[in-house]
């Protein structure tokens, strides 16, 4: 084979062609480009502490969509995506030996230890074979090198301080151009089959029609979603008012799953926001999209600053309908609203007194939009032990349910056994009289459980009825305290039974 300049573009959480510096650099420095994605077997093993599967069915479906979409996009531009099952360092090493003329391996840097370990092994392989390694930073809105701090150790430990400094002194780099044609692959390379669910040891999920995220993966879908949310519907102009919604596709941007896999660039979102503000309207809602992108940046940079320290330290049968509804939505769709995530995290850590890592690893397993830094950063924040800690910050489950699901429609959608209870009473079935429960065809501790724990602050938002079931201290109820019932808390919070 001729000694042409061939660059392997190893793709991981950057499954897009637009605003992708790996492709942008390779186009200018190679005669042949090999776009490569590896299905790393380590991603389909168990989580570190509790052995949940690392990649759940909904995220896998979204990933498969995204890989297929990127391959289709590249084919339209004269290339394709090589797909292999194996460890990236092994696959890249085999390709270097097979081709004999690889000039460079290019990839975006990651933050967490497992990804950094892969990067170290890749660099070792390339060093042994005298192949250049070219790395980039491309997962955040603000580039790591443009942060207004002398070094990453100067990153504030409080988000508001970070935001104010970055907004005042930082800059967002312009979006990189998308190549019309991508340099061709060297001759003789097989593109490889995209694996199936069965090939990765999983079962394809059935999509639930109630999902607030009925979207497919991939760059094409991500760009279409932005066009819909910004330009077609103007939904972005009311984002701040609707973002705490619970039901429907358009109460929030829903960008996070595509951001997690890099199907859409945060800089592209920012660029489109600025264009929207110039051409349509600029208000608190358009700013709040950038505000949320900054939160995502912050957790990524916290991961960069602290490394592994961010990991230390029947689903939907808790008897608290607002918690159960959210946990069931997650289990059945791979998605949960921002409001729901905050509440179930508070309930797990503050009401049940359970290890926050249990929730973080469960989310890692199930969330279609799992991003390691955002997930663990948010769980640390909820537990009151991470950056900007607020140890006494605790959500009142009943108040939150009544505030954000006042009529109980969200609960009835995901907890249908309570469908006969009308209005906001569905949030507190244990406070209803026996006759009201009977009329609603609800039998506590049979068709639906009593609460595994009752927090004292809930009483301010319910009309306690002395004749109702809550007046008796049965197997579950007000006699339960978080520390005494951790095992039961795990069982009822994380049940894997589909029938609930």
Helix (H, G, I), strand (E, B) or coil at 105: strand
Fold equal for 6-136 and 139-174+219-306 = no
Residues 6+ apart with CB under 8 A from 90: none
Task: Give the tokens for residue 382.
Answer: 């909820």
Domain coordinates of the chain in residue numbers? 6-136, 139-174+219-306, 397-493
pLDDT at 491: 59
Inter-axis angle of helices 356-366 and 338-346, to 10 degrees?
150
- CATH architecture for the domain at 6-136: 3-Layer(aba) Sandwich (3.40)
Q: Give the pLDDT of residue 390.
A: 56
Give Cα 212 to chain centroid, integer Å: 14
pLDDT of residue 481: 41
Spatial CA neighbour of 354 closest among 480, 500, 485, 452: 485
Q: Which two tokens stand for residue 301?
A: 């940079």
**For position 150, what pLDDT does the model report?**
84
pLDDT of residue 473: 33
At residue 353, the pLDDT reads 84
pLDDT of residue 31: 96
User: How far apart (Å, rounded) are the C-alpha atoms in residues 149 and 147?
Assistant: 6
Q: What pLDDT does 382 receive?
A: 85
Neighbour tally for 57: CB within 10 Å: 19
Instruction: Write the DSSP symbol of residue 176.
Output: P
What is the block-wise mean pLDDT of the chain (500 residues), using blocks of 10 residues? 78 98 97 98 92 94 98 98 98 96 96 94 97 97 94 89 95 97 95 96 93 96 98 98 95 97 98 98 98 95 82 74 96 94 93 88 93 90 71 86 96 97 96 96 93 91 48 34 47 53
Separation between Cα atoms, residue 352 and residue 490, nearest integer Å:
9
Round to whole Å and give the CA distance between 14 and 442: 48
pLDDT for res 205: 95
Residue 9: which of 26, 256, 83 has the closest Cα?
Answer: 26
Output the pLDDT for position 94.
97
3-state DSSP assignment of residue 338:
helix
Pick the CATH number of 139-174+219-306 from 3.30.2350.10, 1.25.40.80, 2.30.33.40, 3.30.420.40: 1.25.40.80
Residues in the chain: 500
pLDDT at residue 387, rounded to an integer: 60
What pLDDT score was predicted for residue 463?
Answer: 59
Candidates 62, 48, 57; CA nearest to 365 is: 57
Q: Is 36 helix (H, G, I), strand (E, B) or coil?
A: strand
Sheet bearing 82-85, strands edge to edge:
82-85, 32-39, 6-11, 102-108, 132-136
**Residue 295, pLDDT score:** 93
CA dist 319 and 327 (Å) reads 12
Q: In the prediction, which pLDDT does 48 show? A: 86
């Amino acid at each position: 084979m001729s000694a042409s300049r061939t660059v392997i573009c190893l793709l991981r959480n950057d499954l897009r062609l637009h605003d992708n510096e790996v492709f942008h650099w390779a186009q200018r420095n190679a005669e042949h480009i090999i776009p490569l994605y590896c299905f790393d077997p380590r991603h389909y093993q168990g989580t570190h502490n509790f052995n949940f599967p690392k990649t759940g069915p909904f995220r896998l479906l979204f990933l498969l969509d995204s890989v297929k979409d990127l391959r289709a996009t590249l084919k339209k531009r004269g290339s394709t995506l090589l797909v292999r099952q194996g460890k990236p360092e092994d696959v890249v090493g085999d390709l270097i030996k097979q081709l004999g003329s690889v000039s460079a391996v290019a990839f975006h840097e990651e933050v967490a230890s497992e990804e950094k370990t892969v990067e170290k092994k890749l660099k070792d392989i390339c060093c042994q074979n005298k192949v250049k390694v070219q790395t980039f930073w491309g997962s955040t809105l603000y580039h790591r090198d443009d942060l207004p701090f002398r070094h990453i150790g100067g990153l504030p430990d409080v988000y508001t301080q970070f935001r104010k400094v970055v907004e005042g002194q930082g800059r967002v780099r312009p979006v990189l151009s998308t190549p019309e044609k991508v340099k061709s692959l060297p001759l003789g390379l097989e593109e490889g089959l995209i694996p199936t669910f069965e090939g990765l040891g999983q079962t394809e999920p059935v999509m639930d029609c109630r999902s607030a995220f009925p979207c497919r993966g991939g760059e094409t879908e991500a760009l279409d979603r932005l066009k819909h949310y910004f330009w077609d519907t103007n939904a972005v102009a009311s984002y701040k008012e609707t973002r705490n919604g619970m039901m429907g596709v358009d109460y929030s941007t829903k960008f996070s799953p595509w951001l997690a896999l890099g199907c859409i660039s945060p800089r592209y979102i920012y660029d489109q926001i600025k264009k929207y503000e110039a051409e349509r309207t600029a208000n608190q809602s358009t700013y709040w999209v950038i505000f949320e992108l900054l939160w995502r940046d912050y957790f990524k940079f916290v991961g960069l600053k602290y490394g592994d320290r961010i990991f230390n330290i029947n689903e939907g049968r808790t008897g608290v309908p607002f918690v159960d509804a959210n946990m069931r939505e997650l289990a059945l769709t791979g998605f949960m609203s921002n409001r729901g995530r905050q509440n179930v995290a508070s309930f797990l850590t503050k009401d049940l007194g359970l290890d926050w890592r249990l929730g973080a690893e469960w989310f890692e397993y199930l969330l279609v939009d799992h991003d390691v830094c955002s997930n663990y950063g948010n769980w640390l924040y909820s537990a009151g032990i991470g950056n900007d800690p607020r140890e006494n910050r605790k959500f009142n489950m009943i108040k939150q349910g009544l505030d954000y699901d006042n009529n109980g429609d969200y609960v009835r959608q995901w907890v249908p056994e309570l469908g006969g209870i009308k209005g906001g009473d569905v949030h507190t079935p244990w406070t209803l009289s026996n006759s009201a429960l009977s009329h609603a065809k609800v039998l506590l501790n049979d068709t639906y459980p009593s609460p595994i724990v009752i927090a004292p602050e809930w009483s301010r938002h319910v009309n306690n009825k002395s004749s109702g079931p809550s007046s008796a201290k049965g197997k579950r109820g007000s006699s339960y305290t978080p520390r005494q019932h951790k095992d039961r808390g795990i069982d009822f919070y994380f049940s894997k039974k589909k029938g609930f």
